[in-house]
Chains A and B, each alone.
Chain A
Amino acid sequence: MDLKNRSLISITDFSKEEILHILDLAEDFERDQRQQILNTHVVASLFFEPSTRTRLSFESAVQYLGGSIIGFASADTSSVKKGESLKDTILTVSNYSDLIVMRNPLDGSARYASEVSPVPIINAGDGANQHPTQCLLDLYSIRKTQGTLENINIVMVGDLKYGRTVHSLVQALSLFNATFHFVSPDSLKMPSSVKTWVKNAKLEYHQYTDLMEAIPIADILYMTRVQGERFPDPLEYERVKNAYILDNSMLAKSKENMKVLHPLPRVNEINVDVDSNNKAYYFQQAKNGVYVRQALIAAILGLK
């Protein structure tokens, strides 16, 4: 399978086979992480807005592969502050690197960057739109903990309206015959465009407001943070921010194979008493992000 020079902007850019290929490569990097195959390559990491996990795990992935990384961690330290356009920034940086990893607060910025850039772009988050590498690492974590991606019962909890990770994950898991269970306050329900996606894939979804009702069904309990920064109305945010708080006692009736995932950062939606439960998988999930990103970088640069 040849993913050389392909950009990854939205998870739907990759077919089921291409997704599985990346997950297989990631498994290889989990077994042997320090494969020095990127020694002669430079990767640019352009983060126009803050990030801990995504930026550091991309940078860690490049370094484990023996590659060099250039870039910036905030728009304040680049010429964007002087009013440089995204196009000019991308064209300039493409002169200095083989691949650009970009996070930008504007929706659609990554697609646009991929159209003007002569080097491939990996979208590390474009505003509220897409975050495909998060989706890949979620898929990796689900396959690793369940042994398969097929026929999973996934319970998604929290901000299903604005949460981009759940939208991409629904699209991706639709390729694998999942059954979806959406738990949210009424004001943060899954958008109809995503539900239409599920219907078109001829799959089932169920909606709940009571988290306890959904927990016993879950193979994967996917918790999300209610993201204050995405709310147009701060009062609405105050009303729903503490809608679902998972604590250890609530997991008593969960299945044996069930794992709790969370894209992190968490605020208070998972109580710290869950951390020591062997069903808590979110820190391992974040670690898996490095293997998946190593796999993606290696595939796009044609090194695997």
Chain B
Amino acid sequence: MDKKRTELIVSAIRSGTVIDHIPSDKTFQVINMLNLEGTENQVYFGTNLYSDKYISKGIIKISDTFFKEEEISKIALVAPSATLIEIEDYEITKKQKVKAPATVDKIVKCYNPKCVTNTETIPTKFKVISDHKGNMKLSCHYCEKTMAKENIEFY
């Protein structure tokens, strides 16, 4: 019953991208990150929806839009559980879990105010690492400080 309701909320798209299984509290962050505010294409989204795997999830559907590898890695940084589905002519052409990249270049600001990248005009570079508890962290190539996922801020 609940599942059916989820399907009813968000219409199918003919062509474009669906980002599913976003943690509910990250849905709006993903929307902002992908700059969907500025798009002229149709965007449907839902949040706090029922999911089998997650207590509640968000979903975003964007018509006639396909994302570059770089933008997909951005999603993985805030919503590592998300699934990316590409659709053409109502058919799924690609379905993948978003994957955190090994490195994150140019898109994230270093959290350390004293890092040289916050003073000079330098593209940032981070290694994606996990701490001893398995939490994903970013390690700045320049100042060598590590930053937790919660502190990630995009340019």
| A interface residues (Cβ-Cβ under 8 A, vs B) | 10, 85-87, 104-109, 111-112, 126-130, 192-193, 196, 199
Contacts and interface: CB of A to CB of B under 8 A. Distances in A.
Contacts of B131: 192-193, 196
Q: Give 7 nearest A-B pairs by CB, closest first.
A: A108-B142, A107-B143, A108-B143, A108-B116, A106-B116, A109-B116, A107-B114
A196 B132 contact: yes
A196 to B, nearest CB: 5
Contacts of B114: 105-107, 127-128
B120 A87 contact: yes
A112 B115 CA distance: 11
Given A104-B116, A112-B120, 20 more contacts: A86-B116, A86-B120, A87-B120, A106-B120, A107-B116, A107-B142, A107-B143, A108-B117, A108-B143, A109-B120, A111-B116, A112-B117, A126-B116, A127-B114, A127-B143, A192-B131, A193-B131, A193-B146, A196-B131, A199-B132
Contacts of B122: 112
Interface string B136-149: 00001111111000
A53 B142 CA distance: 25
Q: A interface, by DSSP: helix, strand, loop or mixed?
A: mixed
Contact of A111 (B112, B132, B141): B141
Q: Which among B131, B143, B146 has the highest number of chain A CB atoms within 10 Å? A: B143
B93 interface: no
Contact of A112 (B132, B142, B144): B142
Given A128-B114, A192-B131, A196-B132, A106 B145 contact: no
B121 interface: yes
B119 interface: yes
Nearest to A196: B132
A85 B119 CA distance: 9
A106 B115 contact: yes
Contacts of A86: 116, 119-120
Nearest to B110: A108
Nearest to A113: B116
A205 to B, nearest CB: 13
A85 B117 CA distance: 12
Contacts of B117: 108, 112
Contact of A129 (B119, B120, B132, B143): B143
